[in-house]
Structure 1
Amino acid sequence: MLITAWVCAVAVMVFFAVVAYLMPSEDTGVIFRPVDQASMMVIGAFVAGGLLLMARPRVRADGHGIEIRNVVLTRWFPWPEVYGISFPDGASSARLELPDDEYHPILAVQAVDRGLAVRNVRTLRDLHRDAVRRG
């Protein structure tokens, strides 16, 4: 996901740079000025920045708890508050099982990662199991 987000962001910036460069050369009856070209680059930067938000998800875990950073928010959960880590059939990402039938998605562990996702879920389950035994 990280590589895909960066490649797409670079491709979007190149596309908008080419469009901005070619704007004044097309005879469409509209007069494009340098500010219009700069505006195209700013729009491209916003689109690329939005794509790079997909590169933000991260998960960190230790013996005390787990920190999950999804696209915008970061949350930390102590292990005693976590019932388990699951990866439901057909789901695109793993999730933390929490009290009261709630869950929190772990966007850093995606189904498209296949073997890596399996290893990550097993590692998180091992950390959770060890922390529950100790505590």
Structure 2
Amino acid sequence: MEAVQEQTMTETGPLEYRPRKSRIGAWIGASVCLGGFTALSFTLGATTAGGGTVTWADQVGMIGLGVIGAGIILSFLRLGVRADAKGIEVVNVASKRYFPWQVVTAINFTDKMTWATVELADDDEMSIMAIQVSDKERAVAAIKHLRALLEQSRTS
């Protein structure tokens, strides 16, 4: 087993982090959604209970719903965080924001949180959905790295 050496504050380099378990879950969920709707489209009978007919357009529409659902689920692959000596960039499902370290007051991640948050100087905060409790040790290491970068920016 290889020993891991702690980096000093002056050696803290850039961080690029993406969650592991939610990415796996997104791929599985998208596959199940697309596969389920595709299978459902082929198991529809030729007629409905009300006497209507099921056409090929209905089947294509059902598969299209599966594609849309899978696309929504795959949007969770966007999650990420990048940080360097200048600031932090947070990429969530529907937003991407960059904050210089001067406006960041804290990086929070307690045992009661689902994901980390970045606390800003204007008393606002933004979730860092990429750093999730489900990633356990990886998430804790990412938080320590972010906090070290924040501390390094304050001392330089």
Please give the range of the TM-score, normalised by the shorter of the 2 chains: over 0.9
Answer yes or no: is the 8 Å Cα contact 2:105–2:121 preserved in 1: yes
How far apart are 1:22 and its partner, in Å?
A: 1.4
RMSD, aligned α-carbons: 1.4
Mapping of residues 1-135 of structure 1, within 5 Å: 1-24=22-45, 28=49, 29-134=51-156
Aligned equivalents of 2:124, 2:57: Cα separation in 1: 49
TM-score under structure 2 length normalisation: 0.81
Structure 1 segments (4+ residues) deviating >2 Å: 24-30
Q: What is the CA–CA distance in structure 2 between the aligned matches of 1:4 and 1:42, rounded to whole Å?
A: 21
- SS class of match (1:11): helix
The amino acid that maps onto 2:89 is E
More helix as a share of residues: 1
Which ranges in structure 1 are unaligned for 5 or more consecutive residues?
A: none
Equivalent pairs: percent with the same residue?
34
SS of match in other structure, 1:83: strand
Scaled by the length of structure 1, what TM-score is found?
0.93
How many pairs align? Answer: 134
Which structure's relative contact order is higher, taking Cα pairs within 8 Å and 6+ residues apart? 2
CA distance in 2, matches of 1:126, 1:101: 21
